Structure 1
Amino acid sequence: MIKTAFYLKDQKITRFKMTGHADFATEGLDIVCAGVSALAINTVNSLERFTPQVPQVQSDNVNGGYLEVTGVGMDEKSQLLLAAFQNGIIDIAERYDQYIEVKMFEI
């Protein structure tokens, strides 16, 4: 299962973390993993290209799947990209709830 956590302060996303694997299908055919990965990679790339603050990214695909993004901007562009990412992840989780879990934490 992919476990996704969004950390919010004053209704703004300050960071997010994803761990695990979907295990929906075999590697290369796992549409849940592919969808989540595409959203996450696009979000990180977009934050790096289109916002003034470059986020810090830690990842480890080998040992259980891990992505943590911190140091995101609180500016409007950064938050819009993060909200779009959160929306996409929630949409996938609603359809494939046995393969992905989404939690929100107020900090």
Structure 2
Amino acid sequence: MISVTVTKEKGEFRRLYLLGHAGYADTDDVVCAAVSALVLNTINAIETFTEDHFSIGEDPGQGMIDFQFEDTVSHDSHLLMETMILGIRKIIDSYGETYVSFNTQEV
């Protein structure tokens, strides 16, 4: 299962943490591919279209991405993150919580 956790502080995005693999299929796992595409496209868009600073750690073998904003989050990044969350929720609606879980935590 892919566990997706978004952390906010005072309503502002601070961190996106993913861990695991969907396990939908042994090969050509469409759920894993869909979540990965959404997350990586969001990170790439934040990097390309905003001036926001972030750090990122990853371990592909574990299916881990740890993305953290380093300072204030722009309106554009906020919208990109909300769009990614919408996509992840739609994947969960289509394939179920057996393969992907989503959590938001406030710190």
Q: Do the structures match in fold with TM over 0.5?
A: yes
Structure 2: give runs of 5+ residues left out of the alignment: none
**C-alpha separation between the residues in 1 aligned to 2:22 and 2:16?**
17
Q: Report the equivalent of 1:41.
A: 40
Q: Report the equivalent of 1:89.
A: 88
How does 1:60-99 map onto structure 2 within 5 Å? 60-62=59-61, 64-71=62-69, 73-96=72-95, 97-99=97-99
Q: Report the equivalent of 1:56.
A: 55
Identity of aligned residues (%): 30
Root-mean-square deviation (CA), in Å? 1.2
Cα deviation code 1:6-49 (max 9, x no counterpart): 1012222211100000010023x101001001001101100100
* Pairing 1:21–2:21 present: yes
Segments of 4+ moved more than 6 angstroms? none
| Residue type of the alignment partner of 1:71 | F
Query: What is the Cα deviation at residue 57 of structure 1?
Result: 0.9
Q: Report the equivalent of 2:103.
A: 103
Does the aligned pair in 2 maintain the 1:7–1:16 contact within 8 Å? yes
Structure 1: give runs of 5+ residues left out of the alignment: none
